[in-house]
Amino acid sequence: MSRLSRTESVDDLRELARKRLPLAMFDFVDGGSESETALRHNRAVFDRVRFRARTVVDVTERSQEIELFGRKSGSPFAISAMGGLGTLRYKAEVALAKAASDARIPFMLSLGANCTIEEVADAAPKARLWAQLYTFKDDRLNKALVDRAAAAGYEALVVTTDSNVFPKRPRDRRNGFSFGLKKTPRNIWDVLTHPRWTMDVVLRGNVGRMESMVPLVDGPKDTHSLLAYFIKERSPSLDWEALDRIRRMWKGPMILKGIMSKEEAVLAADHGMDGVILSNHGGRNLDYAVAPLEILPEVMDAAGERLTVMLDSGFRRGSDVVKAIAMGARTALFGRPAAFAVAAGGEAGARHLVAMFQDEIDRVMGFLGIRTLEELGPDFLWFDGLAAGEALSRRNS
């Protein structure tokens, strides 16, 4: 058996990725901001939610299909955007899009991807592709990216709202990493002692380059020049007026990623958004942030009938996905597990991860005594000191 086929969890894939990658690349994926408290807390909240099963039920036939924005999805999860995946594996985004396509789940392409909007669409023509957008000061740049996504057949536009300033990530600072690697003696030695990664990534050139940005930039188009342009032109003043302008540019489903309060969820619905992704950026931005799972019930109460409510941050098992769906989420998204998987095994690793989540969801459904996810609800859960439990109890009464 191959090492990949012996992996039984995201933790196993993480360990394979750790062995294959230089430290700076692994820490880029694995780390969080400042003390990494939010990163750890995202996981801890899942452990405080227990299951209450129904056992005298015929579960011979089970389906984890859901409807999402008017289309059937094969499973209640999607692969979220994560920039810089090309520093882990060549054409990583294409590998993930193909795996998502075969599973009939959405794949969200980061603006910081090392493959272009068009390249991913061409490589996975049947995929449910969502385009992630960081907003720029100049709406002409925003419109150019939005128009390209529409022309390439992307289903939804996802505007990230929680990254208007740049985070402090101590691991990246110590490693001299920022979508590229400083040429320190330690880093040079680390690269030389990871020959498989070096041959796959470094020798192919343009490591970490934001490829979708290339047509927008006059002048140098190397990795560092594009990143400098991105930093300079990013808009720190994202507000509802700016989102209204983008809403007028985009005709399909529009989603806000990074919403973390019921008040902003209501405003999102008021401004014509179709969905929100509750997210603290996987613990990579604001440290000590509340976990998305904790605020899910209050968002569902406030805007669940007007928006498709989704969430990311902290998912590591199929059981985590089932917990989120039982609490009201329409679907779950994850980034780090996909990054570990593609780093560990390329497209095969991505397919292995998706199949592993699907298998675990199916088993949990069988044990819970449900045949479809529509049967799920908070009465299948037990909460251990989680504030969300009180909110759900009030909703159920």
Classify residue 4: in a domain, yes or no. Answer: no
pLDDT in tens, 323-357: 999 999 999 999 999 999 999 999 999 999 999 99
Which pLDDT does position 393 carry in this prediction? Answer: 59
Whether residue 284 is contained in a domain is answered as yes
Please count the structural domains in the chain: 1
Q: What is the pLDDT of residues 216-274, one digit of tens each?
A: 998 888 888 888 888 888 888 899 999 999 999 999 999 999 999 999 999 999 999 99
Please write down the HEC assignment for all residues of the chain. CCCCCCCCCHHHHHHHHHHHCCHHHHHHHHCCCCCCHHHHHHHHHHHCEEECCCCCCCCCCCECCEEECCEEECCCEEECCCCCHHHCCCCHHHHHHHHHHHHCCEEEECCCCCCCHHHHHHHCCCCEEEEEECCECCHHHHHHHHHHHHHCCCCEEEEECCCCCCCCCHHHHHHCECCCECCCHHHHHHHHCCHHHHHHCHHHCCCCCCHHHHHHCCCCCCHHHHHHHHHHHECCCCCHHHHHHHHHHCCCCEEEEEECCHHHHHHHHHCCCCEEEECCHHHCCCCCCCCHHHHHHHHHHHHCCCCEEEECCCCCCHHHHHHHHHCCCCEEEECHHHHHHHHHHHHHHHHHHHHHHHHHHHHHHHHHCCCEHHHCCHHHEEECCCHHHHHHHHHHC
Catalytic residues: 281
In a domain, residue 347? The reply is yes
- Does residue 311 form part of some domain? yes
pTM: 0.94
Read off the CATH number of the domain in which 168 is found.
3.20.20.70
- What is the mean pLDDT of the segment spanning 124-139? 96
Residue 388: per-residue pLDDT: 55
Range of the domain at 346: 10-396
| Least confident segment among 86-90, 114-118, 187-191, 364-368 | 187-191
Residue 370 located in a structural domain: yes
Task: Evaluate whether residue 36 is within a structural domain.
Answer: yes
Does 3 reside within a domain?
A: no
Average pLDDT score over the chain: 93
